[in-house]
Chain A
């Protein structure tokens, strides 16, 4: 079956512009996660959704970052007024449910470059 998909795969934007990243989870997966991975670094948790609600937004780096999920399906991560330090690969993952025992399946990521 189809895995997690993300779009765009690459995004180059100018500093100060807004960007929107999209994630399509595996069908039937109720939990969805966003991570950020800077070059040569580990994964940094941003936010997760159980259904359409986000119980834990503690990882969002600043108020320029926001995320939403609709219909227990697609999620979008929006970064407003992008800065060069936002350059990273943004990874989305989904799992069958939100409990920490469930395997997370990752999408291929969106590589964001802010110039």
Chain B
């Protein structure tokens, strides 16, 4: 089983649509969770951290379910500029050398069309 699993997509949605991405992780000791965004042939950039209580940043909402080891990202009112690959990222767990290590999912491709 992969440490971080995502539906690779691609998701093709019209402008204005709401789209949700899911991610599962295998390490129950993981403490920190993120969504990164990667544009085509560019480096990844942090989109948002994911907190236990869930958090929202404008049109983006992230949620964490520790019991199910499941993370989600919801994008409302999709824009053309949201087209990118969305990477689910999980840290290695508390303590030890794995704490500083981030594990990236394979990414979910989103294309927003006019």
Please list the residues of chain A having a beta carbon within 8 angstroms of any beta carbon in chain B.
31, 33, 35, 41-43, 45, 48, 50, 55-56, 91, 98-101, 103-104, 106-109
Binds A, one of B53-61, B66-74, B104-112: B104-112
Q: How many residue pairs at the A-B interface have CB separations less than 8 Å?
A: 55
Q: Give 1 or 0 for each of B29-65: 1 = CB within 8 Å of chain A CB.
A: 0011010000000111110010000000000000000
Instruction: Give the number of chain B interface residues (Cβ < 8 Å).
Output: 23
- Chain B interface mostly: mixed
Decide: A106 and B102 in contact? CB cutoff 8 A: no
Task: Give the complex CA separation of A101 and B46 in angstroms.
Answer: 12
In the complex, which residues of chain B have a beta carbon less than 8 angstroms from the beta carbon of A104?
Answer: 46, 102
- A100 and B31 within 8 A (CB): yes
Closest 4 CB pairs of A and B: A100-B91, A106-B43, A98-B100, A55-B97
CB-based contact B46/A103 at 8 Å: yes
B105, A31: Cβ atoms closer than 8 Å: no
| Contact status A100-B102, CB under 8 Å | yes
